[in-house]
Amino acid sequence: MDLTDFGAGAQYIAGRQSRGNGEPFQIVNPADGSVVEQVALATTAEVDAAVAAARAALPGWAAATPGARAEALNRLAAVLTRAGDDLARVETAQTGKPVRLATEFDVPGTIDNAAFFAGAARNLEGKAAGEYSGDHTSYVRREPVGVVGSVSPWNYPLQMAAWKILPAIAAGNTIVLKPAELTPLTSLMFARACTEAGIPDGVVNVVTGAGRTAGEHLVSHPDVAMVSFTGSTAVGRRVAELAVAGVKRTHLELGGKAPFVVFDDADLDAAVHGAVAASLINGGQDCTAATRAYVQRPLYDAFVAGVAELYAAVRVGDPLDPRTDLGPLVSYTHRDRVAAFVERARAYATVVTGGRIPARGHDGTDLTRGAYYPPTLVTDAAQDSEIVQGEVFGPVLVVLPFDTDDQGLRLANDTPYGLAASAWTTNVHRSLRATREIAAGCVWVNDHIPIISEMPHGGYKASGYGKDMSQYSLDEYTQVKHVMFDTTAVARKDWHRTVFGDR
């Protein structure tokens, strides 16, 4: 099966690729404006068909043994491994991310997720069976929730498809995924890989459509039992409103504004290099990317100078060039949105480096046709300013000084978000305090960004609730059922007398 053949359309329903009945839509390569694919978007009719396919497949897949589901996911990991080069190439074409990142991060991470959930499928956790009342044996069953409706974002299309699909189907659910219409191609490839791996038709379905039509219809659908969404906090609120109206289980992974807290005893060189990598990964289009660096005053000037120096050396250019460090942003619209944040910040802050749309790449190539934006460093902004509080979602780092540890931690928590953070220190007591007091779903110490399949990913506060990856994610896609057996064989039980009659 050629996973890269999109000629049959951008919908994948009941094991078959098909065309939508909605508006035509062009998937554009943001590196040069060329059209990667032209597709027809899904209407509510395609959503209904996908949900019906998922519902029809649910009894058989839910009844499959954990071992059978694990075998299927292991086969999926093998299919994805064979398709690795194609997945990286298509991911780069539709998102503009450097092929080096797609090859070394996105694809292997997705394969590892598949291998992890193959193992997790056979590990259903619960309280040990026992006679907790004395007269009954109780145990816990974990059962599938049902049909899952998931909406994934454009920044990591392949990985987000995996994060949505894998725990859901490992737990015995079936799923309809709506990827972002900007970047649906590797989600479609993932679904086709599921078919090639022998996962039954209808277990994994993909509908490519607009959020206000296909997305809202999916999360509102009466046959969808659980909704999972990754995206902005504003849209997440709308998803939650629609889901709660149907009393659906809801999982939201929303925006972030990750603090990067550098104490005065930190390894400065490590912190500088860590900040550059953590702020520029995926063009800064990462909800866990370092966006706010708080640096204790003795290191502040040297940190700013060090980041500025490394930013100036970052190679911006063609994402297919393995030497490129930073490719274009996902679209011209998004590039202009990021640039507008920086332009507004000039009125109240200092743009130390970057902040101008580049014309030439690191090798002299013309970048004017692409959605490029350079690494941009901002200082002298107030804590309550837009550039500090708002989610820019681009290669922009704001650096602010702090004096006391109390102040640094307070500033780190001073946004509505709480997805990820990092603390940089060589003092174990400082690191323990930071990991305890920073309100975020992940806190790194002396690093920022690495994720692993075995550990959960999810936020606090306006960054949402629920976990991706890890056993915790699998558990969220199950319903817990308490089963209780009488062990006495006594017809007239003593507790009945609390309701009627005499003892």
Pairing of the two strands 258-262 and 420-424: parallel
Q: Are 293 and 303 in contact (CB under 8 A)?
A: yes
CA distance 135 to 412: 52
Catalytic residue annotation: 253, 287
What predicted TM-score, i.e. pTM, was given to this entire model?
0.96
Q: Where are the alpha helices (DSSP H) in 365-456?
A: 386-389, 405-412, 428-437
User: In this structure, are strands 417-418 and 460-461 parallel, antiparallel, or unpaired?
Assistant: antiparallel
CB 465 within 8 A of CB 458: yes
Longest dimension (CA), the chain: 94
Q: Flag residues of the chain having pLDDT under 70.
A: 1
Task: Report d(CA 176, CA 58) in Å as an integer.
Answer: 12
Q: Is 280 helix (H, G, I), strand (E, B) or coil?
A: helix
Q: What is the mean pLDDT of the chain?
A: 97
Element (H, E) at 86: helix 84-95
Among 117, 217, 121, which residue's Cα sits nearest to residue 163? 117
The whole-number pLDDT of residue 1 equals 67
Q: Which residues of 81-104 are buried (b: 16+ CB within 10 A; e: fewer)?
A: eebbeebbbbbbbbbbbbbbbbbe
Helix (H) or strand (E) holding 296: strand 290-296
Q: What is the pLDDT of residue 4?
A: 82
State residue 8's pLDDT score.
81
Beta strand spans in 99-246 (E): 136-144, 147-151, 174-178, 204-206, 226-230
> Which three-class secondary structure state does DSSP give residue 27?
strand
Looking at residue 5, what is its pLDDT? 85
Give dist(CA 183, CA 202) in Å, integer. 22
